[in-house]
Amino acid sequence: MNLTDRALLVQLNVSQWTARKYDKRASKEVTTAHGAASAAGRFNKSLLPMNDKLENIYRKTTLIRTKYYESTLPWGIDGTRMLPTANYLSFMTDFRKEKGEWEQLVQEFLDEYGQMKLDAQRTLGSLYDPDDYPTALELRYKFNMDMAVFPVPSADFRVAIGSEELKRIQQDVERRVKEAELAALKDVWNRLYERVKHIAEKLADPKAIFRDSMIETAKEICALLPRLNFADDPNLEAMRQQVEASLIKPPEALRNDPALRRDTAAEAKAIMDKMGTFMGAL
């Protein structure tokens, strides 16, 4: 399997204004009032307290980051993830939609920034300092979102370097790619395994309460796995199909039918045992 043909590397970069500021004067007043040393605490004030429009941006950013990690696999470099080519179109289509909505939220925030500063002046009282706030133009450049896409490294080098050193570099690249490939494959297996384990543990206890999301998340991972299975691992696909056929059942039926709940728990445990055998060989 040539990983360079089956995957890309992606990196999500997000910058956004935190609207928080360390207030040296307030910090000194608090520590002095309590007879504490100056290093005992820091007062960080919110420049736009209780601002829904800024919170909407933060929530959308969190959602985008969550989807980024769910749809990609570990690579070994902080912030960089592996995106199987089978999942590229679906992932990028969804990312562009979410990014567009994020940019709209940013624009709505910027449109009302002037009024927000006036509201903050009333809310913060003597803590308000106009110098804490960037201009509207400066603020615009504090918000940015980008998805960088790179090829998976190849050991095919054409550079003017000694043959022995070139061979060492090629071997090192090959080793690192193999290690990253194995880590990514283990990650795919673990995602399915953790869902099955959760179902097995919850259903095995007749008194345990579970939410509908337990089944929904298992259903979602089963739908996503064919696009993440970059190695076309037949064992992983077989386990995915078995989970889909044996464990994806209506939550209400599992709650109201003790026999169905017991049998499904047993099936989940059996699938766990099979998966454990395959995963141990990785």
CB 215 within 8 A of CB 249: yes
Residues 187, 241, single domain; the answer is yes
Residues 115, 9, single domain; the answer is yes
Residues 139, 262, single domain; the answer is no
* Each residue's pLDDT tens digit, 85-122: 999 999 999 999 999 999 999 999 999 999 999 999 98
* Each residue's pLDDT tens digit, 12-60: 999 999 998 876 775 566 666 766 666 655 657 889 988 899 999 999 9
The closest of 58, 57, 54, 83 to 68, measured between CA atoms, is 83
CB 275 within 8 A of CB 189: yes
For residue 267, give every residue at least 6 positions away whose Cβ sits within 8 Å of its Cβ, in sequence order, or none.
Answer: 246, 247
- More confident site: 281 or 184: 184
Residue 129 within any structural domain of the chain: yes
Asked whether residue 77 carries a pLDDT value surpassing 80, the answer given is no
Residue 40 within any structural domain of the chain: no
CB 79 within 8 A of CB 62: no
Number of domains in the chain: 2
Q: How many helices (H) and strands (E) does the chain have?
A: 11, 6
For residue 219, give every residue at least 6 positions away whose Cβ sits within 8 Å of its Cβ, in sequence order, or none.
Answer: 244, 248
Residues 10, 137, single domain; the answer is yes
Residues 180, 275, single domain; the answer is yes
* Each residue's pLDDT tens digit, 141-172: 999 999 999 998 775 555 555 677 767 767 77
Residue 189 within any structural domain of the chain: yes
Domain that holds residue 198: 165-280
- Which residues make beta-bridge pairs with 147? 12
Which of 94, 128, 151 marks a domain boundary? 151
* Each residue's pLDDT tens digit, 201-249: 999 999 999 999 999 999 999 999 999 999 999 999 999 999 999 999 9
- More confident site: 184 or 37: 184
Residues 179, 80, single domain; the answer is no
Residue 148, phi then psi, degrees to nearest 5 = -85, 140
Residues 7, 128, single domain; the answer is yes
